[in-house]
Chains A and B, each alone.
Chain A
C-alpha cells in the first residue's frame, strides 16, 4: 500500500483515527514527518492532517497556561504573555522552521531536538493525551517522555502548566556550536520558584543529555531550600551529571557533553553569559 492523506476536522476524530491504525502518523508542523516522507522512511501508511482550530489555540492570560499542541514557535513568540518562553522558541531552527514547528511535534522530536520539551519539563507541564474517541487525560510530562521511549501513542491535544510567578525564576540556555541556528550540544531549563530568597520546588531539566529530555534530580536536591548563592551553585555543579546518559552524535561526543554540562549549568544559575 502507498502513502495516503486523510483529514480530520476535530481532535476527537483525529484521536480515533490514530488509535485505530498504527500506521497513521499525524502531520503537525511537518518539519520532521515530511523529512521522513522525502527520504523514503515513511512511504506506506496514512498521513493525518488535523484542521481543528482548537488544536492551535493558546490560552496564556491567566495563571495557568494552555498551549494547543498545534501552536507553532512563531505563535509563542507573538504572544506577550509567554515572554518567559520566548528564548526557548527563538532557539528552535530559523524563522521558517519556527513558523512551521509545533509544540506537539517537539514533544516527539528525537534527541538532540526537543528543546521546547525541555522547558516544559522544567515547568512540570501536564500533557493532555487523547486516545480513541474519549476525552483527553492529563499525563505528567516526565511520564509522557518516558512512555515515548517505549513507543506509546495517542493524540497530544495540548500542554498545560502554571505560569512562573516571577519571570526571572525561569531560565533557559541552549548550547550549540553554530550560532544563531545550531542543533543542541545540550539545553538546560531551570525553574527555581523563589530564587530571590530560598528556592522551593526546584526543577532542572536537560536536553541532549539522555535519549529524551530528563530532570536533573541531583541538581534539584542541591538547590532545594537554599538561597541561590555561590555555595548552592557549587553543590549544583557537583551533582550536575546525576541521572544523565548523554549520547555521541554528529554534534558532540558523550564525553564532551559530560565535560561541559556542569560548566553551562553553573553559568546559567549564576546568570552569566556564555
Chain B
C-alpha cells in the first residue's frame, strides 16, 4: 500500500513521517513518531485517553485522520512540562492524588489544559463538563476535579 508523507509541529518541533491512507493520528504518534504520551484505549472516541490539542483545541487522536494534520500544531502531554518544571496542572494532579494507575492521566491533563486555556476560572460544574469525554476507572473523579480546580487557583506559578 502506498504510504503518504505527513508533516506537522509536535510539541513545538517539526516532525515528519509516512502513514498509510486510513491511519489515525494516535497510531501515527505512537508507532511513527515514538510519542507514547497519548494512550490507546478504545479507538472509538469513547474513553478520551488519546486526547491531544490540535491548534489549541481538544481532539481525539484515535478519530483524527493523520494526513489531515498536515501543517497543524499537535500538542500532547509530553509537551506540558517546561524542562524540569512541571505544568501547574501536573503538580496539582500529584498533590491531589489525581492519578492511580495513571492510564487516563495523559488525556485528562490535555482535556483539563484545554478547559483552563478557554476558561481560567471554571466552576466545579464546568470542570465536570470539561472532562466529560474522559473516563477514569480508578479515582472516582473527585481527586481529578479537585486537582483541576486547584491548578486554576495557582495558574502561572510553576513549581521548581
A95 engages B45 (CB within 8 Å): no
Binding site for A on B (CB under 8 A): 1, 4, 20-22, 24, 43-45, 48, 51, 57-60, 62-65, 67-68, 111, 114-115, 128-134
Of chain A, the residue at the smallest CB distance from B67 is A5
Question: Could you tell me which residues of chain A, from 164 to 207, have a CB within 8 Å of some CB in chain B?
Answer: 180-181
Kindly list chain B residues whose C-beta atoms are within 8 Å of the C-beta of A99: 57-59
Contact A100 B43 (CB under 8 A): no
Return chain B residues, CB-CB under 8 Å to A43.
22
**Bound form: Cα–Cα A49–B67 in Å:** 10
Q: Does A61 contact B (CB under 8 A)?
A: no
A95-B114, A180-B128 are known contacts. Are A35 and B64 too (CB-CB below 8 A)? Answer: no
Q: Given the interface contacts A30-B65, A99-B57, A99-B59, does A3 sit within 8 Å of B133 by beta carbon?
A: no
- The dominant DSSP class at the B interface is mixed
Measured CA separation A2–B22 after assembly (Å): 10
Name the residue of chain B whose CB is nearest to the CB of A183: B46
Interface size grouping (class) on chain A:
20 to 34
Task: Check if A93 is an interface residue, CB within 8 A of chain B.
Answer: yes
Residue A152 at the chain B interface, CB threshold 8 Å: no
Report A's interface with B, CB cutoff 8 A.
Answer: 2-5, 27, 30-31, 34-35, 37-39, 42-43, 47, 49, 74, 93-97, 99-100, 180-181
Residues of B within 8 A of A74 (CB): 57
Are A38 and B133 touching (Cβ within 8 A)? no
CA distance A39 to B42 in the complex (A): 10
Contacts of B45 in A (CB 8 A): 31, 34-35, 93, 96-97
Bound-state CA distance A4–B67 (Å) is 11
| A100 with B21: CB separation less than 8 A | no
User: Which of B21, B59, B64, B129 is the one whose CB lies under 8 Å from A3?
Assistant: B21
Question: Is there contact, CB below 8 Å, between A100 and B64?
Answer: yes
